[in-house]
Amino acid sequence: MKTGFLRLLVVPTVVGVFVLTAGAAKAQISLNYDDLSSFEEPLAFEIGQATVLVGGVIDVPVKLTVDDSIFHGDVDVSLVTNLDISIEMQLANRWNVGVSYFGQYDENRNDYEDNVAGFVRTSWGSLIGGNVDGLVREATRRRRAVGNSNLAFDDFYGRINRWGGGYSGRFGPAILTGIADADGNFELGGQFQRPIGRRDYRFSARVAKARYLAPDGVTDFETLGAAIVGEFVYGSSLFDLGFGYENLQAGPIDLNRWYISGGTQTKIGVLSLSAAGHYGELDGTSEASASLGMRYDIARGLSTNLGVNARKAQIARDGISVVNEDETSATASLRYSF
């Protein structure tokens, strides 16, 4: 299966994003691309003419890892914190200008990562520049699961560069987002969401031209992918399903990948539960993952979280390891979000 039909899909999508900008309204910008996120509304206050929004998470996880179905004593206790800040002010012409910042520290990895972006928001939509590589993914992905659940492989392998620029705008019940980097890679996506009767429906689509660096650190694949997601909400329960296709090319290597992911989550009083599964094939070899999550709300912003996650995909072609993942883990944590 070649990439011709994907290119036919990409071209009209690119045109559609920019033709429809004439009717756009503002769309929210978030630089948190991690699965650890606050479920509380951010704190808001004013400094002079600027409005500041602040949110964050403090998490203390205990992680037990099992490799090859044999427990070998890997237990990690660490501290993870993140901070999300947005500063925005309105100009005399009623344009809003601002900057968003997200930072996360992981004690286990002894690593601090951050994203920053500036934006200009008008009645026609928002122009954005900075570390915006995850914006389209966040706008079109399946809903984040609860607790410490994290479903592996539920995305394209390919990624665009961290630095880039693009546009995001709302058109009634629809939001369109397009991002491009300096190397000519891009992601385009849209979502449509509205209630019908007592039920809420959301549909999203995403296409991406990107790159994927294999585990050997040398082989660099060009990728082209397309994915769709459908979501259904009734009462306190949510059900969603996603399909994706991706083509990977590096020299004479030409691989095709497809996958399907689905899950459900519900809330019963102070208890939230989620379950999800994934199956796909890369050039005929399978990849699979599953996750279970639970969150128990103790007080405003304070919760106990559990998660069990499993993933397996060991695929090599022409002597090159394309993906090498095989892990099962259980994580419990005490979390405070604001």
Domains of the chain: 4-337 (2.40.160.10)
Residue 2 has pLDDT above 60, yes or no: no
Residue 14 has pLDDT above 70, yes or no: no
215-249: per-residue pLDDT in tens? Answer: 988 999 999 999 999 999 999 999 999 999 999 99
52-90: per-residue pLDDT in tens? Answer: 999 999 999 988 887 654 455 577 888 999 999 999 999
Q: What's the whole-number average pLDDT of the chain?
A: 88
Whole-model pTM: value is: 0.85
Distant-in-sequence, close-in-space partners of 94: CB < 8 Å, separation ≥ 6: 122, 123
Q: Which pLDDT score is estimated for 132? A: 95
More confident call, 300 vs 284: 284
User: What's the N-to-C CA distance of the chain in angstroms?
Assistant: 47
Q: Take residue 75 and report the two structure tokens written for it.
A: 């237990």
Q: Do 19 and 101 contact (CB within 8 A), yes or no?
A: no
Q: What percent of the chain has pLDDT over 70?
A: 89
More confident call, 25 vs 172: 172
Q: Which pLDDT score is estimated for 24? A: 34
What does the pLDDT average to over 294-304? 94
